[in-house]
Amino acid sequence: MKSPEYVATVTRIYRKYIDMILNEDKFVIDENDVNDLMQVFNRGGFSNGHLDSNPNKDFIFPEKPNNMGIYLGKVSRYNASKGHITLKLENNLQVGDSIAVQKESTTYFVSELMIRKSNLKDVSSGREVTIGRMKGNISAGDKVYRISSKALSDSAKKSYENVENIKIPLNCTVTIKKDTPIKMELSTLNKNNSIYNNIHLEVSSNTIPVDALKTPISVERVVKQISKTNNTPYYFENITVLLDDGLYVPSISSLNDLRRNALEKLEDEVMKKVIKNPVSISTKKEETVTYIPNLQHPNISLSLRNLYLDYDYSKLHKEKISRIYIALKLFVDKNYYNIIDYLSENYDLYVYIPSIIKANYKNIILNSLDSITARFNIKGFVISNLADLKFLEKYINNYDFVGNYSLNVFNNFSIDEYKKAGLNRVTLSRELNYDDLQEMLQSSSLDTELIVYGSLPVMASNYCFLGKTNHCFPDCGTRCKHENIYYLKDRLGFKFRVVPDNMQTVTLIFNSKKLSIATSNLPVPNVRVDMLDESIDNMNEVIDTVYNREKLDGKEYTNGNLYREV
């Protein structure tokens, strides 16, 4: 999604500084490299993200949503009739660069640079210059930015123009015989690249040639079809066609499919050489989770983000629920003690730790957890960040720890690392595809869980939406404690549920659509259903459906409370 010039510039500079580290050279940052990175694309400069100890108020740049470029200076004079702007440059500028002016959304191609009456091709920093052919909403005092640099773009293009289209040479033999599926044998020629050495493979088509009624297929036609490798990193240096006389190929596209399948198989062989497989843990039976491909019913974890005092939780289908996760904020409200007492006595109960823990609330939360574990029969914790392991380290030897989906478990490498860190179960990423899930389930070194139903967060915000929008600071009306339902409504009318955390003024924003996944063809042993506003009857319907590995067909459940628009 970035231009070739962007990729060339960024990889060149990052490569330079990685090599400094690898070669143990003195690490000195060249300001020219910083300027090049700023020039090729930036939104208000660089950010340290959340790595610093203090909150980063500059994390998001409010002035402009796209490329900021390099600051050139402020307009000192604007001659609208001539289309001239004058400014003192704080960076170099040349004909061919692109610039932007503060109040204008368009960019301008610099085609005329003047100092007094002299036309120049480039002007250095520190000089006053007039830029011609400028029209629009421009006035004195406007900031001017260089959006693109011709010199930088030319340098980037030069770095890749001679290597961009390097391709790997291949040999292939296509065999077209009567009454026999068409076959291709492929081998590599690149002896200077170790990952392409000594690869030989064979693929067959479902297409069987037939006797030609009119014009039989020719060797030239076969070569033409097989040679179409334009969008791949390969080309055929030698193509041999073994063709019986008088044959016709019913579908010429079958030759395209044959070539594509052969190249995909080649890439699979290359990837096996590139990616070192992790040490197999399947031989360590005592450390490996057993995968049961014919599991009839999954173990269900029920996640409750809200509790309602008028619900009869004894009516839940207890025999189908293995464990229950309850949000931390609910444990600190004494109104819910009776409900939680019942749940902790009848289920394995886990405390769901919030995704954001503010520094000034850490001690409060730790004290709350001491009270919670003393009062209730707690089995373990669901953690949303790796830092929670350090935060909760005094509990790690006596309680189970479940890694939430926010830990981004995409492969068995990460599962192995989380196991070393002390987790007992991980929730698989919501973005994994079917094949990845199958592979991970069969070789995971940890117990795994998959979310198959629920309203799931799309954003966690570090402040209270209700307090900001309804102006209830400093006199908080505790709207967040009322059983009203709040949401953000977008321009298409979709409603995104807003759930405040009154414990530490944090807000979760949930997706407008509920997730619903059937696992009939994906026999994952442990699944999670995430409940937000569902009634007990709704919960039971979801649990029954998931228990039978069926899908809910997009049903939307809510407990009927009044929606309030934020």
Contact 193, 166 (CB under 8 A): no
For residue 448, the tally of other CB atoms under 10 A from its CB is: 21
Does some domain include residue 289? Answer: no
Q: What is d(CA 450, CA 405) in angstroms, rounded to the nearest whole number?
A: 8
Cα dihedral across residues 381, 385, 386, 388: positive or negative = negative
Angle between helices 412-421 and 434-443 (to 10 degrees): 40
Q: Are both 548 and 426 inside the same structural domain?
A: yes
Tokens of 213: 């009624």
pLDDT of 190 strictly over 70:
no
Residue written as token pair 């002896």:
191
User: For residue 424, what are the domain limits?
Assistant: 299-565
Do 155 and 12 form a contact (C-beta atoms < 8 A)?
Answer: no
Report the CATH number that the domain containing residue 327 is assigned in CATH. 3.20.20
Same domain assignment for residues 552 and 406 = yes
Query: Is 63 a residue whose pLDDT tops 90?
Result: no
Strands 183-188 and 200-204: antiparallel
Domain contains 283: no
d(CA 425, CA 418): 9
Question: In this predicted structure, what is the pLDDT of residue 438?
Answer: 81
In this structure, are 539 and 401 located in the same domain? yes
CA nearest to 351, candidates 426, 418, 402, 415: 402
Where residue 259 falls (left for φ over 0; alpha for ψ -120 to 50; beta otherwise) is alpha
3-state secondary structure 197-213: CCCEEEEECCCCCEECC
Q: What percent of the chain has pLDDT over 90?
A: 59
Provide the pLDDT for residue 435.
81
For residues 439 and 471, membership in a common domain is answered with yes
Distance (Å, rounded) from C-alpha 563 to C-alpha 566?
A: 10
The pLDDT of residue 482 is 57
Tell me the longest C-alpha to C-alpha distance in the chain.
Answer: 91
* pLDDT above 90 (res 124): yes
> Residue 559 above 50 pLDDT?
no
Structure tokens at 83: 């289309």
Q: Residue range 145-151: average pLDDT? A: 95
What pLDDT does 273 receive? Answer: 79
The reply to whether omega before 250 is within 30° of 0 (cis) is no
Spatial contact of 326 and 498, defined as CB atoms under 8 Å apart: no
Is 546:297 a contact under the CB 8 Å cutoff?
A: no
Q: Which helix (H) or strand (E) is 266 found in, with range?
A: helix 253-274
From 35-39, 380-384, 462-466, the region with the lowest mean pLDDT: 462-466
Whether residue 303 contacts residue 454, with contact meaning beta carbons closer than 8 Å, is answered with yes
Count up the domains in the chain and report the number: 3
Cα separation, 176 vs 249, in Å, equals 9
Q: Are residues 401 and 270 in the same domain?
A: no
Q: Is residue 111 part of a domain?
A: yes
User: Which residues touch 149 (CB under 8 Å, ≥6 apart)?
Assistant: 39, 70, 94, 97
Residues 420 and 453 in one domain: yes
Same-domain status, 448 and 305: yes
Residue 261 and residue 268 in contact, taking contact as beta carbons nearer than 8 Å: no
User: Could you tell me the CATH number of the domain that includes residue 118?
Assistant: 2.40.30.10
User: 210-223, pLDDT tens digit by residue?
Assistant: 999 989 999 999 99
In Å, how far are 469, 507, 532 from 498, measured between CA atoms? 12, 7, 11
191 and 47 assigned to the same domain? no
Q: Provide the CB-side half-sphere exposure for 274 (13 A, CA).
A: 9
- Shortest CA distance to 331 belongs to which of 355, 350, 303? 350
Residue 374 pLDDT greater than 80, yes or no:
yes
What pLDDT shows up at residue 277?
A: 47
pLDDT at residue number 471 = 58
For 351, list phi and psi in degrees, rounded to 5. Answer: -90, 120
Q: How far apart are CA 261 and CA 203, in angstroms?
A: 7
- pLDDT reported for residue 161: 78
Closest by CA to 539, choosing from 427, 428, 454, 456, is 454
Element (H, E) at 340: helix 337-346
Residues 348-374: what's their mean pLDDT?
Answer: 91
**Does residue 285 register a pLDDT over 50?**
no
Report how many helices (DSSP H) and strands (DSSP E) the chain contains, helices first. Answer: 13, 30
**Phi (first) and psi of residue 263, to 5 degrees:** -70, -35
Average pLDDT over residues 507-529: 88
**Backbone dihedral angles phi then psi of residue 73, each to the nearest 5 degrees:** 145, -175
pLDDT at residue 558 is higher than 70: no
Please indicate, yes or no, whether residues 373 and 504 belong to a single structural domain of this protein: yes
Residues recorded for the chain:
566
Which CA distances in Å does 364 have to 182, 193, 371, 465? 71, 59, 11, 22
The token pair at 434 is 């079917």
564, pLDDT greater than 50: no
Any domain includes 287: no
List of residues 6+ apart from 84 with CB closer than 8 A: 77, 78, 114, 130, 131, 132, 134
Domain identity same for 436 and 312: yes
Q: Which residue has 């628009």 as its token pair?
A: 565
How large is the average pLDDT for residues 525-536?
A: 93
Listed residues 164, 187, 214: the one ending a domain: 164
Same domain, 153 and 216: no
The mean pLDDT of 329-341, rounded to a whole number, is 93
* Residues 132 and 240 placed together within one structural domain of the fold: no
Closest-CA residue to 122 (of 95, 153, 155): 95
User: Residue 284 domain-assigned?
Assistant: no
Q: What is the mean pLDDT of residues 388-414?
A: 93
The per-residue pLDDT for range 498-512, each reduced to its tens digit, is 888 777 778 889 999
Q: Which residues of 367-384 are buried (b: 16+ CB within 10 A; e: fewer)?
A: ebbeebbeebebbbbbbb
* pLDDT (0 to 100) of residue 166: 75
Encode 481-498 in three state secondary structure: HCCCEEEEECCCCCEEEE
Task: Give per-residue pLDDT as tens, 68-121.
Answer: 899 999 999 999 999 999 999 999 999 999 999 999 888 999 999 999 989 999
Residue 476 vs residue 144, higher pLDDT: 144
Summarize the confidence of residues 271-288 as an average pLDDT.
Answer: 51
Whether the predicted pLDDT of 28 surpasses 50: yes
**Which residue, 274, 290, 314, sits at the end of a domain?**
274
pLDDT at 159: 84
pLDDT at 283 over 50: no
pLDDT band for 464, please (50, 70, 90 cuts): confident
The percentage of residues in the chain with a pLDDT greater than 70, rounded to a whole number, is: 89
Average confidence (pLDDT) over 308-325: 95
Between these two residues, 290 and 234, which has the higher pLDDT value? 234
**Cα distance from N-terminal residue to C-terminal residue, the chain:** 34
> In the listed set 259, 274, 289, which residue is the last one of a domain according to the structure?
274
Q: Which residues contact 223 (CB under 8 A, 6 or more apart)?
A: 239, 241
Q: Is 27 contained in some domain?
A: yes
Is 285 a member of any domain?
Answer: no
Residue 288 lies in a domain: no
Q: Is the pLDDT of residue 300 over 70?
A: yes
Amino acid at 387: A
pLDDT for the residue numbered 65: 76
* Sign of torsion over alpha carbons 362, 366, 371, 372: positive
Q: pTM for the whole thing?
A: 0.57
